[in-house]
Amino acid sequence: MSARVTLSVDGRAVAVAAGASVAAAIEAAGVAVFRHSVTGTARAPLCGMGICQECRVTIDGEPHRLACQTACAEGMRVETAAAGGSRGVGR
């Protein structure tokens, strides 16, 4: 129940409850902007369920992963717009 996993978001370590999504870890790390749109505006999760694609970040080096549908794993490396993850890439 209270098991925790530790991962890094933009280089900063965060601990979240086991079972939490990457989207949750990003916000727990205090990051509000997940990515930038094709015209450069700030974006964050909208649908929470794998539809809108606004939560895309880079996970363990792989870009465009859905933060809302990916469960956190021990040692995972997550990069948001701030670290250049999925920056300005619309498709």
Partner 1 sequence: MSAIATVDCDVLVVGAGPAGLAAAGAAARAGAGVVVLDDNAGPGGQIWRGAGAGVAAPDARAAAPWLDALEHPRVQPLAGARLFAQPAPGLALAETPAGPLAVRHVRAVLCPGARELFLPFPGWTLPGVAGAGGLSALVKSGTPVAGQRVVVAGSGPLLFAVARELKRHGARVLLIAEQAPRGRVARFAAGLWRWPAKLADALAHRAALAGVPYRTGSWPVEALGGEALAAVRVSDGRRVREIPCDRLACGFGLVPNAEPARLFGCAIAAGGAVATGARQETSVPGVFAAGEAAGIAGLEAALAEGAIAGLAAAGAGEIPAGPRRARERARAFGAAIARAFALRDDLRALARPETVVCRCEDVTRGALADQPGWRAAKLHTRCGMGPCQGRVCGPAAEFLFGWGAESVRPPAFPVRLESLAAAGEVPPGGTEGP
Ligand X SMILES: Cc1cc2nc3c(=O)[nH]c(=O)nc-3n(C[C@H](O)[C@H](O)[C@H](O)COP(=O)(O)OP(=O)(O)OC[C@H]3O[C@@H](n4cnc5c(N)ncnc54)[C@H](O)[C@@H]3O)c2cc1C
* CB hemisphere CA count around 28 (13 angstroms): 20
- Please name which of 2, 1, 22, 10 lies closest in space to residue 74, comparing C-alpha atoms: 22
Where do runs of H (alpha helix) occur along the chain? Answer: 22-28
Nearer to partner 1, 34 or 58 (CB): 34
Alpha carbons 15 and 26: distance in angstroms, whole number: 11
26 is a contact residue toward ligand FES (CB under 6 A): no
Residue 52 binding partner 1, by CB under 8 A = yes
Give residues in contact with partner 1 (CB under 8 A): 1, 16-21, 23-25, 27-28, 32-34, 37-39, 41-54, 56, 64, 68-71, 90-91
Give residues in contact with ligand FES (CB under 6 A): 45-48, 50-55, 66, 68
